[in-house]
Structures are given as C-alpha cells and as structure tokens.
Structure 1
Amino acid sequence: MPTSASPSNEIVIVGAGIVGLATAFHLLAEGHRVRLVERGGVAEGASYGNAGALAFTDILPLASPGMLRKAPKWLLDPLGPLSIPPRYLPQITPWLIRFWRASLPDRYAASITAQGNLMRFAATATQALVTQAGLAEHLRSDGNLQLYESEGELAASLPGWEARAREGIALEHVRGERLADLQPGVSPRFTVGTFTPHWQTVGDPYHYALALFRMVMARGAGLVHGEVVSLTAHAQGVQLRLADGKVLNAGRAVIAGGAWSRPLAKSLGDSIPLETERGYNTTLPPGAFELRRQLTFGGHGFVVTPLSTGIRVGGAVELGGLKAPPNFKRSEAMLTKAAQFLPGLRTEGGKQWMGFRPSLPDSLPVIGPATASARVLYAFGHGHLGLTQSAATGRLIADLVAGRRPSIPLEPFRPDRF
C-alpha cells in the first residue's frame, strides 16, 4: 500500500473550508509545516454559498425557548423556516432530544455565556487575520437590520436582545424614518426593526475563502485531494487513511471537515452528535435591489445579503442529513417571500444553492483534543457560524498545538461534553 511519509512536525488539516484555512494560516504563522486534505473543491462546501455574515452579535443558541415555541408551527410547513423530512425523523430523534435539553434554562444561559466569549474573541481574531492576510478589501461593516411585522413580534424577541445587551452588544430598536433610512423600499408590513451596527459581512464568502487559500499556499502549505476515511494516533504521530488507499503520516492532525467530521471522530472513539442543517439560497444578479445592508426576516427564517457578486436570499433550517437530494422548492419559497417583503426586488436570473451546515445540539462547536490522543484536535460543528468563528478557531487550535493556555476557556467546547 502506498505511503506518503511526512515529517513529525507536519500538521495535516482535514478540510479546506474556511475553518481549515484559518487554522492553516495560524499554524503556518507559528512555523509549522501544514498540509490540507480536501474531499471536494477548496471552500466548496458551506464556505461557498453561505450568507457571508461575520455575525459576532449572534450569541443566542438555536435551541432556545423561543425557537421551541415556534417549532411546532414551523414543522407543519414543509417549506417553512424549520423542517424535518418525515423519513429522517427516526434517525435524528436522539439529536432532537439533546436539542431540547440544550434549551433548558441553565444550559441555555451557559451556552450564551460561552458563545459570547467566543464571539468577542472572534471579532478580535478576525480583524487580526484580515489585516495580516491582506483581506481588508473583502470586509463590509454595514451592520444588520432585523425586521418585524408588529410591535408584538418585537416584544417577543426582547429577552434575546436583552441577553445580547448584557454581553455588551450594541443595538438600536428603530421605527419610522430611522427604519426607512436604514433600508428604503421595505414593505410597510414591517413596522419596526432592530439594528446591530457592529455586524459585518464579506463581499463574497467564496472569494474571501479563496483569497485566504492563496495566502496559505503562498506561505508553504500543501494540498492533497482525497477523502480521509479513518485516523489512527500513536506515540510518534498520526496516520490518516484515504479512500483511494493512500496513507498520510504526520505529527498531528486537525479535523475541520465540517458536516463530514462525525465518522472521523467516531474512528477515534468519540461519539459526537453532529447533525446537518441543509441551508438553501438563491443568488440574484448585481443590481437586483438597492440593498444597503444585510436584512434578517427572523419570523420567516431567512436573510437577504448584499454581496459583491449579487443579492443572496437564503437561510432556513432543514434537518435532513447528507444523502437526500436538494429540495429547491425551499429556495423558491424564500425568494417568493423576499419579493413580497422587498417590492422592488427583481427575481429573474438567480442561481440556487444548497449547502450542509455542521450543527451540534447546543450551537457550540467542538474545539479540543480527541479522547484517544491529544495529537488529534477537533475544530468542527460551527453550524451557521463557521465563517464568523473561523479565525478564532484557528487561533485556539494554534494555542493547543503550542501548549499555551487558550485565549478563552475551552471547557464549553470540549468534545466529551455530550
């Protein structure tokens, strides 16, 4: 069997999405030899077609009391903000039980605290990475506007906004002329909004990831195309077996394979309840609407984002696994609503997309060593927040490799917390 020998100081990163790329950037900066292994194209998973948000203010777990109150109504609509295909329900039931437990008051509060710590660090780490990697041209700082159809809808969301305010997040509830100034052309059915000025976006998430990829390759990273099917850790390092029979040897490995990470962790003895949120969107051509900033229609589960490459309408949650074919009726349903909510929106010429978000029940990623060996580190499960938390995750992995005290406490992100 062919074997590729690697020096003991080389680190293999499984996954060349935005988290893997940011991790490579930080490890290269500290003098490590790095090789990326990617099963598909570089940044062609969730890093390709996401909403482009650097959502540092998004600290509320998906498993919230408010979400659970809405879930029964949403689940009755197969094209609504949250759906589970009936055939997938038996498989996902254990995850849903953990999801419900994560919504209990003490666990919900603990998740907010942990997410707040990670987000504050992510904001700092992202600015540092953007500066060091020369990516500033990709960044936009226009804020986000969440829109509501009534004062009652805003009132129902206030506990969440109060939790954000306690974490030091700036926000402004807006109405009338202020609302119209932040985004002209919104349907009058939306009478109130909440503006978060420190929310940022990137011009296009795929272009941002490719720019970072070019940077890490220029700094000496290697790239292997192939699917890692198992890992074995031993005293001298880590052995990674690929689907084509090749074997890679390295001193350490980082699993940053997004939605495909679960079986790799399981091969090391860690049963991590990673599920897949299938996200849908449509990207309209540039000029489809005069959009000043990202808009969130929280009651309908989707966002509209201005990109350098067009207008992206997408979001929602479909818990349906990795194998089922896409249901692009979900993209069409969101686009139809967007046209109603933004009456001047031109909907012709759009490109549909579906991607897999790696989701854990408590909305916190897994960051830390495998149970079997500290030579293997996990960096996956970021859900909707992979782009947002990528720079922070890369820095935290670099801390662990160096044996430093991590920049934030990692106990809430332990792989064995489940």
Structure 2
Amino acid sequence: MHDFDLVVVGAGIVGVSSALWAQKRGLQVLLCDPNAPGSGTSFGNACTLATYAVLPVNTPSVFRDLPKLVFGSESPLSLNFAHALRHPLWMLSFLANCRSARSAHIARQLAGIMAHADAGINPLIEDAGAEDLIVERGQMTVWSTKAGAEADAGALAFRKAQGIPFEPLGPQEALTMEPGLKLPVHSAVHFKAARSVRDPQELITRMYRRFIALGGQWRQAGVDETRAHAEGVEVCVGDDRVNAARVVIAAGAHSKSVRGSGAERLPLGTERGYHLLFPEEAHRVSRPVGWAEGGFYAVPMAQGLRIVGTVEIAALDAPENQGRLRYLAKMGERMLGPLPEPESQWLGFRPTMPDSMPVIGQSPQSERIIHAFGHQHLGLTLGGITGRIVADLAEGRQPNLPIAGFAPDRRFV
C-alpha cells in the first residue's frame, strides 16, 4: 500500500512542473523541498522562455577561446583551478563534448525537446492563472564586434535550419528597438517567439498553489535517501519515511545528495551564475537583451532591472565570487550607461552535466526512480515539458517524444 503515487524531490521549476502535471493527471503527489517553492536557482534566472537556446555551451569554439576565457581580464567565465584539478574527469568529459560531431549531436537533441517546450509550460501557465506574468516581446541578442558576430554565424544557421524564427537587425534597427543601449552595436537578432516572465518565483508560487488546490501535498523538508523495492520506493522525508509507487529526483544541483537514487553516481556538476537587481531601472530595456561577447542578459522584470549571467566553474559550497559581481556591474554599465548601486545580489547553482544536456528518465537503480535534473541554463524553458515527461513515466507509459538521448545511463563523452 502506497502513501503516494509520486514523491517529487525538489520544488524548483522542474519539480513543481512535475508535481502539477502529475496531480492534473489524477495521481496523488507529495512535493518536498527544505526551502519554499521557487526560492532556489529558479528564483534568480534570466526570466526568459528561451526556445531559441538549442546550442550547447559545448562547442568547438571553446578550444579556440579557452585561453582568453580562462585568463582574460574581462571574461564571462571564471574557473576555480583547485576545483578543476579535483574533478579532472568531468573537465575532460566537458572538453570531449566540444568536438564538432558531439556538439552537433547535443544541439540536435536539445532542438528536439525544445520544439515541445511551449506545449509543456503553456498548460501550466493557464492552470495557474499566470498569463499576466508572461511578456511576449521576444529576446534580442547583440554583438558589439564583427568578430563576435562572425563567430556565431554558424549557430544562427543551425537555428534557421531548425525552424527557429528570428529577424536579423542592423545597428540602427537594434537601437530603434532598444534605444537605451550604449554599447557599440555591430549587429543583432530578434528572436520573436521568445517570451519572458515578469517574476519567475511568482510563476512557480502560483503553479504550486494550483497543485495544492488540486489536492497535492507539500512537505517543507529535505530528502536524503530513497530505497527502491519491487513494489515501490521508501522515501526518507525529513525525519519521516513514506512509501510511494515512484519518486522523481528534481533537486537540481543538489540531486547527487539523495542516496540510493542513482543520481549520486552521475557526473553532475555545478555552474554558478550571478545577478544584480536595480529596482528603478526596468525601463532601460523593453525585453531581455543579451550581449553575446559579454555573456550576460539585461532583463526588465516586476522587481526592476536584472543584470544576470556569466559562468563560474567552482564547488557548490565555495564562497560568493565578488569578481563575478563586479564584472556584471561593470559590463552592465558598458551596455546601458551609468547604473545606481544594486539593491541586491544573488548567486545560484545551475545543475550541469558535462554534455550540457539534462538527465530525464528512469534511474539505472530502479525504474521506480525517475531523474529530472541537469538543465543548466534551460530550467525555466524546459521545466514544463520535463514535468509532462515525468508525469508520463509516473503513469507507467512512454512519453510521446523521444527522450533516449537524455537517459541517465547514457555515455557522457
């Protein structure tokens, strides 16, 4: 006899989407997290439903640009060398996935699931009554140099081949759309179908409330162990134990801490991201604007202007890197002109596999344990469709889209 049909571990966008999809299907679901829904990494993202983002971080350009990225004084990448030396196999696997053939394979896999992203999140937005949080003004990416634009020409060609709509823009066209830009503009593109979210945590909060309204249950507690057996899974929720038909591990960068789930055996790394918030400056841009060479976004949202992005490869428990915050402040001013002191700053942990693809599917440990983590920069975008896939697997049936490429037992090189 099971206490629940499904226990969901983790209440970020992926976990809450999984819980809501499963509850909508009529399953009895328990959602668990030591923190409030949407208050972790999902809180601090770039607020963008980035359906154009089908290119992985792993590209052949990494080999060309690695010295500049690692040692450059104004690089969007920060690498903790002690952390890298402690995890040489992960770093080598990441680099192996930058080879042309592997990078192209990863991009095709991401494009395949991305084509279903809106179908996964739109029903949840509607169910949650969150349409007012969604802004349909697209996203703009700007290149400030000819070299930068030429380096990304292949990526745009791939997107065009995948049917992703975008409009190339000249400097004056870009400045007409976003007159607040102060950086030199060589060229730009407008991804017209992209949408943004005025408040990601509010979106997740409304989805959580809908989950509760449908009869879902919530426990503000961590899960540190699962024990699968023939009839179900015993889940250690805080100081209690519950029995479930299935459990889904959707705890983002913390998924490896759940013993007995199989997640602890996977090469899950952490890519740390930062943001600064300027409450009175949302008027500076009218949509999310990314500066390609700078590796960050300027995003207007309900709370103000969010300058967000960059990549830091470091341990999950490493202290906040003040250099990353200074970088965002400096580059934000280059992009938009003088800014006041930020009201707040934030550090989050993107769950990252060495092939830049999420892990979605049944654990090698047991078919009753489902993995749904490792979405790196794409959690908000792919959270809804991942949740729908999880609901399918929780019902014991195959999803209506191919997910073998994201299997937990795949090769990561």
TM-score of the two chains, using structure 1 as the length reference? 0.94
Give the SS at the match of 1:375: strand
Q: Note if 1:359 corresponds to 2:352.
A: yes
The count of corresponding residues between Structure 1 and Structure 2 is: 411
In the other structure, the counterpart of 2:128 is 133
In the other structure, the counterpart of 1:154 is 149
* Cα displacement (A) at 1:356: 0.6
Give the gaps of 5 or more residues in structure 1: 1-5
Q: Note the alpha carbon deviations across 1:221-280, whole angstroms, 9 max, x for none.
A: 1111222111110012111224x5422221110100000012326653762111001101
* Cα displacement (A) at 1:78: 6.9
In the other structure, the counterpart of 1:313 is 307
In the other structure, the counterpart of 2:99 is 104
Identity, % of aligned pairs?
A: 32
* Cα displacement (A) at 1:294: 0.7
**Farther off after superposition, 388-397 or 169-178:** 169-178
The counterpart of 2:399, out of the listed 400, 406, 410, is 406
Q: Structure 2: which amino acid aligns with 1:304?
A: A
For the residues of structure 1 that align with 2:47 and 2:400, how far apart are their CA atoms? 25
RMSD: 1.8
Give the gaps of 5 or more residues in structure 2: none
**Farther off after superposition, 125-134 or 391-400:** 125-134
In the other structure, the counterpart of 1:333 is 327
* Cα displacement (A) at 1:162: 0.5
**Farther off after superposition, 88-97 or 255-264:** 88-97
In the other structure, the counterpart of 1:295 is 289
For the residues of structure 2 that align with 1:307 and 1:122, how far apart are their CA atoms? 22
* Mapped contact 1:369–1:375 kept (Cα < 8 A): yes
Give the SS at the match of 2:58: coil
Give the SS at the match of 2:115: helix
Give the SS at the match of 2:37: coil
The counterpart of 1:370, out of the listed 363, 380, 388, is 363
| Match runs of 1:17-416 below 5 Å | 17-77=12-72, 80-242=75-237, 244-264=238-258, 267-268=261-262, 271-287=265-281, 289-343=283-337, 345-416=338-409
Give the SS at the match of 2:312: strand
* Mapped contact 1:185–1:342 kept (Cα < 8 A): yes
Q: Structure 1: which amino acid aligns with 2:39?
A: E
For the residues of structure 2 that align with 1:376 and 1:302, how far apart are their CA atoms? 36
Q: Note the alpha carbon deviations across 1:126-165, whole angstroms, 9 max, x for none.
A: 2222223321111111111111122232111100110111
**Farther off after superposition, 398-407 or 295-304:** 398-407
Q: Note the alpha carbon deviations across 1:373-411, whole angstroms, 9 max, x for none.
A: 111101100001111001000101111122333121011
For the residues of structure 2 that align with 1:150 and 1:415, how far apart are their CA atoms? 40
**Farther off after superposition, 75-84 or 348-357:** 75-84
For the residues of structure 1 that align with 2:259 and 2:295, how far apart are their CA atoms? 31
In the other structure, the counterpart of 1:3 is none
For the residues of structure 1 that align with 2:261 and 2:391, how far apart are their CA atoms? 23
* Mapped contact 1:270–1:370 kept (Cα < 8 A): no
* Cα displacement (A) at 1:79: 6.5
Give the SS at the match of 2:87: helix
For the residues of structure 1 that align with 2:263 and 2:118, how far apart are their CA atoms? 33
Give the SS at the match of 2:333: helix
* Mapped contact 1:79–1:329 kept (Cα < 8 A): no
